Amino acid sequence: MALPKQKIAVRPDSEAKLAKLVRKLLREAGVEAILPTPLDRLFEVAKVKNIAELPDEEAFLKSLSKKVQNFFLSAKQKLRGIADLRERASYVPPDPNNIGRERFAKGHELGHNVIPWHNIDPAYLDDDESLGASAKGVFEHEANFFSSEVIFQGQAFQKRARDFAPSFSAIFQLAKETGASNQATAWRFVEEQDEAIALLIYYPSKAIDEEGNSVLSLWRSVGSPQFNRRFPEIDVPRAVRTGHPWVAARDFNKVFDGTGELLNGDQNVTFEWNSWWNRRALCVLIRRKPRLSIVRDILA
Ligand SMILES: [Zn+2]
């Protein structure tokens, strides 16, 4: 049984075009390799205003179609950002407890404003769903990738990420450098590695285990290109509970590591794993030991 297909993250088809657009913007703003990326400078160069709240909510509301008005009113409390393309503005409420989240929303709204083919809707209203890994719709997916490119500065991050042996402490360090959340950094870190490594993210489900703790169920997974090539049929647990070695990270609230076997097709493969509980989700890195794989490749 392979990883559930719909849960494998893929980049938008326009990846190369978006990366180029971001590179140009970073260059024009003179902020290449400056981390955390000074987002204000990018807004300035792109001539987009970023404002913490709508200056005139009533006027904004009236300018929207009936359908979008209804969405605005029903989702208002949950909105994390608005891109108003007519005003060339974005509105992102401050998120003082999570600057990484706020920066990600800003990058996303800037994306809607500057990605040329997004200029067909007057306004984009974004909540947790459109800013998440499960965003529906090509434009949301594109704005998310744009934001990730802006925050991690694509190529530069790839080089930096490969300097580190994969571990959560490397990821925390890179998150600090880029001003991104630890979880978003873990995701991008795995995507950029040139060895076989994957990240699995589990969220608490409604089911309760024998110890009275939530059963954690697989939400999303992302693999490095090499991981996806070598282990296309990897069978990862869909749910884990207290007693599973990975779950110790939640139950003891610290990073754990170890080795274990997973099935790929009909073969058992030994992986190194690291697990970390971020108080909302369990993040697990699984990594094929590079040294063993060299031996295997020579023998093969
Ligand atoms: Zn959006």
| Residues of each domain in the chain carrying CATH 3.30.450.130 | 155-299
Q: What is the pLDDT of residues 90-113, one digit of tens each?
A: 999 999 888 999 999 999 999 999
Confidence check: pLDDT of 6 > 50: no
The conformation of residue 168, written as its DSSP 8-state character, comes to H
Percent of the chain at pLDDT above 90?
A: 81
Q: How far is the CA of 230 from the centre of ligand 1 (A)?
A: 34
User: How far apart, in whole angstroms, are the C-alpha atoms of residue 106 and residue 114?
Assistant: 12
| CA 124 – ligand 1 centroid, Å | 6
| pLDDT tens readout for residues 197-252 | 999 999 999 999 988 999 999 999 999 999 999 999 999 999 999 999 999 999 99
Measure the CA–CA gap between 256 and 287, rounded to whole angstroms. Answer: 14
Q: 103: CA distance to ligand 1 center in Å? A: 14
How close is the Cα of 198 to the center of ligand 1, in Å? 27
* Alpha-carbon Rg for the chain in angstroms: 21
Residue 84 CA, ligand 1 centroid: distance in Å? 11
pLDDT score, position 251: 93
Q: Which CATH architecture has domain 155-299?
A: 2-Layer Sandwich (3.30)
Ligand 1 centroid distance, CA of 109 (Å):
6
For the stretch 176-185, pLDDT in tens is 999 999 999 9
Rounded to an integer, what distance in angstroms lies between the CA atom of residue 299 and that of residue 294? 9
